Structure 1
């Protein structure tokens, strides 16, 4: 195993950021930590990268203990924090050279690892990092995290605030890095990115809700979900929330995802009810669950 986490807990005064967290990440795996802001993702990453010490529990990264062997871990991992943290007054090339020097290596020595990423920012190598676009900053930060050829790569919400095209490109880069044998632990609030991981852990309020492959987690969803649509979205949500048989109601794109508490649900009954609430153009159809549906159900 590349990462072993055993009963980790962490508190900030009266806030329990992590509550008895345990899971492992296999060597060469692309593992996703999926949850909203404030779920505890960043706190866990800081513990695993030796920037914080847990109140309870233990963890190993690349076979090293995060407390007693922290120096060895820092040489063995790459860490890309959620906030862009490179030197904004240095150029692209100067940032890379700086981080390579810190780890006792050179850009040329591990160029094969960053080549596919670096060629995209090379035309801007003399531009200061602070003047780069969000997508280019992301690529530069990833290059700096990889420059010493780490065994494990930690990426804390790497695509937050990045445009959809850059997000897609970034995940394609991660898949290529995985093929080179690097273990990747990535956190994200985006449920659609969860499906791109080998396995995921759903986390909420410092607790792990479920750990499995994305396909298995979706398969475990216990109810039939319905896409519901009407002429007035806001009134539709309120009406469904007031419906005495509702189990769950929440917006999902142009639809509302609805589940019913009855075993013998009849969509015609619901349609009649919605019409009584002065709604029209009503559509009700079965749909398949997603990671987001599963998360919402578990978080209840």
Structure 2
């Protein structure tokens, strides 16, 4: 008997190149690069299979043996993505006909054939419609399907992929890190990411919560570094990150990642600290 499908259909919003920042992060992750079986799941890809195609096209550069499977609850979306895949196979798209991608119905249970377990599960813009108390169970359901050393990447981005944030969750189900990623050119203030925080944090941008303190401090350092705009947005962001570290924030990574507009911290540095009113 087929397993029950877990979750609710997403709004289906998708777009070309929308998830490029998250694609880049996954491509650099040890979860992918060191995996014995580099199987990657694009969970809740939406009304079009394009995000799975783009993910595979980017990951194959670092893991030629990668395989991407797109899962959606809605059978019509699966049929649409499979029709798109036929065009890819026939050479009627910009993607390689041999792109290692397939599509199937599935939700948080991540129903794979046999005993395979994914090295990576990507679930971007999936939990926005859920209530915050539902998030830990969703994380646990997905993360339980991971291979040893695997990671779930769950978060949110804007419609054109210029602002994104996500958490990485191991099999144990509690996030390890929180990452925000910006297109630095044209960035007015970093706290604009507040609108695109993961569901576990989006209601926590209030005084008394660590993620709120982070965004306030990051905005302050961004403003402090404004004179460096003469040398470009990257130099300004590097200075802002340096300022955060000087304030005592446990910023991870190095200048190579920061120059890309990425900022990563341990999850415990921003984890919710109090119950929501009415929860």
What range describes the TM-score normalised by the shorter chain of this pair?
A: 0.3 to 0.5
State which structure, 1 or 2, has the greater radius of gyration over its C-alpha atoms. 1
TM-score (norm 1): 0.31
Higher strand residue share: 1
Q: Bigger relative contact order, structure 1 or 2, given CA contacts below 8 A and separation 6+?
A: 1
TM-score (norm 2): 0.33
